[in-house]
């Protein structure tokens, strides 16, 4: 929460929930990453918040970009970044999208199987590829499941195939799970990566790069370690597993770059109880799962919520969104404590909402417009 955001909200006259994002905080976050990891290139994960002003600021600061689609490649180019600063990091791409990215100048692609390597060899000949390893996401509040990456036994074959087809077998990547609160979680993946570097090295393929992915957390209700702690832990693991041959490294922060730069202002629409002896109150906001707070799915991300009644006695509340869909409940299994004095019509501030909110908002479910966003 910054004074600039509070000042902006004091002067705002429009109705409806909105996100306000403070670019000064994004700048500070970029500088933290760049200074904590001076030998690592930063590829901002565009999907976390693709607002053009965020991308322009980061391009100016020297950031590179991790993109997931042609539209994101174009957004990164429009921000002023040259194509050599863009990685097409989605492992699931249509061949014609690979071709389009190649025509736009992109030469760095993620893969996790031989079929994807073949698409890239045809549509983006001679490009660099890195193979994504499966990571179990332990310790992460938003784990990434088995959807991306391949087993460590398969990765050498995928990269060897790339090499044979005239691509540059460039390196490995992994993602330890989003909102990863344990800096030691990079160690296992780096150990596996170094074994693959050795294995392929013996077969004449010299990998050069390890993509350390995202996962750097933002502060929600619980304290999180500082970027420096992640940098130290990662550096230690790199030394332990790669010795004097530390490869080129990149990171792809999304949440950690923009999460704490944004605050959503919302309004209490209704407060009620389901029966006279109900122990929890129901508090309905004008924002829910369909217009910005999708990451409350399974109650995984718990946002800090500020009200003007803070300091008063609190009571457990079920917190829900405004739409006519029964899944539009934010916190119920683990009720949210809110002030007893909270009133219908009161404004609430939902902190840490700069990442994964605006673009996760539906185009108009129930007639509720997409989340408004102001970048200041």
Ligand X SMILES: *Cc1c(COP(=O)(O)O)cnc(C)c1O
Q: How far is the CB of 282 from ligand X (least distance, A)?
A: 31
* CB crowding 151-162: b at 16 or more within 10 Å, else e: ebebbbebbbbb
Residue placing its CB nearer to ligand X in the complex, 66 or 328: 66
> Looking at beta carbons, which residue is closest to ligand X?
214
Residue number, 187 or 295, with CB nearest to ligand X: 295
Q: Is 18 exposed, middle or buried (0-12, 13-18, 19+ CB in 10 A)?
A: buried
The tally of CA atoms less than 13 A away on the side-chain side of residue 25 is: 24
Query: Which residues, 236 to 255, sit near ligand X by CB under 6 A?
Result: 252-255
Number of residues that bind ligand X (CB under 6 A): 16
Instruction: Decide if residue 116 touches ligand X (CB under 6 A).
Output: no
In contact, 132 and 291? CB cutoff 8 Å: no
Residue 72 or 286: the one with the smaller Cβ distance to ligand X is: 72
Determine which helix (DSSP H) or strand (DSSP E) holds 186, and give its type and residue range.
Answer: helix 186-202
Nearer to ligand X, 45 or 266 (CB): 45
How many Cα neighbours within 13 Å face the side chain of 60? 9
Interface pick for ligand X out of 50, 143, 215, 262 (rule CB under 6 A): 215
Q: How far is the CB of 114 from ligand X (least distance, A)?
A: 20
| Residue 140 C-beta: closest distance to ligand X, Å | 8
Site for ligand X (CB under 6 A): which residue of 170, 216, 230, 360? 216
Catalytic residue (one of 113, 131, 150, 324): 324
Q: Is the dihedral of CA 328, 348, 5, 254 positive or negative?
A: negative
Known catalytic residue at 324: yes
Whose tokens are 């174009």? That residue is: 74
The DSSP string of 61-119 is HT-EEEESSHHHHHHHHHTT--GGGEEE--S---HHHHHHHHHTT--EEEESSHHHHHH
89 is an interface residue for ligand X by CB under 6 A: yes
For ligand X, which is the closer residue by CB, 254 or 352?
254
- Looking at the annotation, which residues are catalytic? 324
The footprint of ligand X (CB under 6 A) covers 45, 47-48, 66, 89, 175, 178, 213-216, 252-256
């Amino acid at each position: 929460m910054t004074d600039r955001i509070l000042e902006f909200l004091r002067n705002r006259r429009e109705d409806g929930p909105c996100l306000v994002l403070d670019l000064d905080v994004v700048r500070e976050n970029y500088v933290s990453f760049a200074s904590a990891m001076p030998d690592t290139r930063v590829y901002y994960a565009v999907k976390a918040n693709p607002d053009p002003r965020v991308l322009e600021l980061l391009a100016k600061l020297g950031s590179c970009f991790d993109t997931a689609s042609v539209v994101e490649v174009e957004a990164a180019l429009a921000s002023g970044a040259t194509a050599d600063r863009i990685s097409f990091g989605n492992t699931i791409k249509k061949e014609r999208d690979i071709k389009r990215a190649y025509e736009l100048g992109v030469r760095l692609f993620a893969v996790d199987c031989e079929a994807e390597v073949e698409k890239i060899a045809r549509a983006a000949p001679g490009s660099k590829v890195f193979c994504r390893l499966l990571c179990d996401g332990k310790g992460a509040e938003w784990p990434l499941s088995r959807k991306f990456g391949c087993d460590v036994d398969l990765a050498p074959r995928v990269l060897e195939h790339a090499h044979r087809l005239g691509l540059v077998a460039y390196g490995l990547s992994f993602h330890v799970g989003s909102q990863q609160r344990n800096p030691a979680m990079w160690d296992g993946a780096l150990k596996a990566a170094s074994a693959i570097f050795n294995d392929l090295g013996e077969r004449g393929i010299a990998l050069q790069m390890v993509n350390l992915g995202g996962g750097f957390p933002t502060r929600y209700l619980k304290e999180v370690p500082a970027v420096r702690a992640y940098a130290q832990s990662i550096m230690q693991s790199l030394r332990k597993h790669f010795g004097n041959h530390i490869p080129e490294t990149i990171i792809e922060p999304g949440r950690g770059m923009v999460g704490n730069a944004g605050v959503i202002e919302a309004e209490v629409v209704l407060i009620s109880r389901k029966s006279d002896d109900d122990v929890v109150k129901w508090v309905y906001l004008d924002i829910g799962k369909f217009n910005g707070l999708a990451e409350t799915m399974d109650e995984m991300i718990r946002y800090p919520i500020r009200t003007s009644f803070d300091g008063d006695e609190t009571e457990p509340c079920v917190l829900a969104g405004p739409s006519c869909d029964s899944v539009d409940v934010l916190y119920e299994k683990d009720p949210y404590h809110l002030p007893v004095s909270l009133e219908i019509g009161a404004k609430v501030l939902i902190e840490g909402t700069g990442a994964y909110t605006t673009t996760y908002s539906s185009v108009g479910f129930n007639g509720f417009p997409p989340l408004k966003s102001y970048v200041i």
